Amino acid sequence: MNLSPEPIISARQIRKHFGSFVAVNGVDFDIPAGICYGFLGPNGAGKTSTMKMIYCAAPVTSGSLTVAGYNVMLDMKAVKSQIGVVSQEDSLDYDLDVWQNLLVFARYFDIPRKTAERRAEEVIQFLQLEEKRHVGIREMSGGMKRRLQIGRALMNNPRVLILDEPTTGLDPQARHHVWAKLHDLKNQGVTLILTTHYMDEAEQLCDTLVIMDRGNIISEGNPWALIQQHIPYQVVEIRATEEVKTEILTRFARAIGDAENLSDRLLIYTSEAEALLLEIQEADVPTKTVMTRRATLEDVFLKLTGRGLID
């Protein structure tokens, strides 16, 4: 890992306002070079707004934000030259094929034609799009388009790659393929900044992550530390009617450290998971299923944001 003492991205009290609406409410973060840094949070938390300020697609309302030492408001060109962007929305050119999409994009960075062709070739090989080289975007599947967007973001050899939900809508195989490529890029020293709604993706990829909610950062740490910090227990997961869930919460209150009553499940966090499971099974409460499992990042997310991932 290429950890440098100076963070490659540094934010101090950055805010994003849309009229009177506050999308990002004064957040601070320092992203060391060479790591994968994640932004999690429910829909509307302010993740994309934060990404857009980093890659100069939206002005910072107030606060200070630097990328590789350059101020995003004053040195846009320098900032953009350091960054590759895979935006949340598909931004490919549908009138062009794969090869042309890569070459046209290279023009934004004034990359000479010969260099651009060599780079496009490397990118195509890296993302295994050889067979699609001259295929139009309309004829490509969602996973291939996502791969091409990542490839396009790599055309300028960025030091920082911003990935706003890079694997949403991909099948498990395609997601694993993207994860493997992101691991490769990190090993090459590229700093990855990722937003995702997939907690397993965040656990797999992120060295450090923040959880945002309503424009604020409400927690920061590495995935395992966050789990340890917020839910040092095991989880008993119960599916049952609302009445039965309420009965369990009252009857077994003694053994329950903390609980989250979701619409479809009751999650009980306890240091006595196995014993509680047995007690519930032996008691005459009509549950649909009861099981124990380790706590996950998803539990942390639900606990901190108080609601499901996708509202």
Residue from 8, 14, 29, 47 touching ligand ATP (CB under 6 A): that is 47
CB 182 within 8 A of CB 205: yes
Of 56 and 236, CB closest to Mg ion: 56
| Contacting range for ligand ATP; rule: CB under 6 A; set: 15-23, 120-128, 226-234, 293-301 | 15-23
CB burial class (10 A; 0-12, 13-18, 19+) of residue 30? middle
Using alpha carbons, select from 67, 77, 38 the residue that is nearest to residue 197: 38
Residue from 21, 77, 172, 250 touching ligand ATP (CB under 6 A): that is 21
| Contacting range for ligand ATP; rule: CB under 6 A; set: 6-14, 42-50, 74-82, 113-121 | 42-50
Contacts of 174 (CB under 8 A, 6+ apart): 143, 146, 147, 167
Separation of alpha carbons 127 and 158, rounded Å: 16
Contact status: 263 vs ligand ATP (CB under 6 A): no
Token digits of residue 104: 């046209």
Residue from 32, 34, 38, 46 touching ligand ATP (CB under 6 A): that is 46
Of 57 and 103, CB closest to ligand ATP: 57
Of 33 and 192, CB closest to Mg ion: 192
Of 178 and 240, CB closest to ligand ATP: 178
From the CB of 7, what's the least distance to Mg ion, in Å? 23
From the CB of 43, what's the least distance to ligand ATP, in Å? 3
Of 234 and 305, CB closest to ligand ATP: 305
* Antiparallel, parallel or unpaired: β 258-261 and 208-213: unpaired
Contact status: 23 vs ligand ATP (CB under 6 A): yes
Residue from 2, 10, 88, 292 touching ligand ATP (CB under 6 A): that is 88
Interaction residues for ligand ATP, span 162-181 (CB under 6 A) = none
Residue 229, binding choice from Mg ion, ligand ATP, none, Cβ under 5 to 8 Å by partner class: none
Identity of the residue numbered 52: K
Contact status: 48 vs ligand ATP (CB under 6 A): yes
From the CB of 47, what's the least distance to Mg ion, in Å? 5
Of 52 and 181, CB closest to Mg ion: 52
Number of neighbouring beta carbons within 10 Å of residue 298? 18
Three-state SS at 181:
helix
Separation of alpha carbons 212 and 301, rounded Å: 10
Q: Which residues bind Mg ion (CB under 5 A)?
A: 47-48, 88
Rg, C-alpha atoms of the chain:
22
φ, ψ of residue 237 to 5 degrees: the values are -110, 125
The crossing angle, in degrees rounded to 10, of helices 142-153 and 172-187 is 10
| Contacting range for ligand ATP; rule: CB under 6 A; set: 44-52, 105-113, 170-178, 250-258 | 44-52
Contact status: 44 vs ligand ATP (CB under 6 A): yes
Contact status: 196 vs ligand ATP (CB under 6 A): no
Number of neighbouring beta carbons within 10 Å of residue 2? 14
Token digits of residue 91: 């931004």
Separation of alpha carbons 298 and 196, rounded Å: 12
Q: Can you give the binding site for ligand ATP, defined by CB under 6 A? A: 18, 21, 23, 41, 43-49, 88
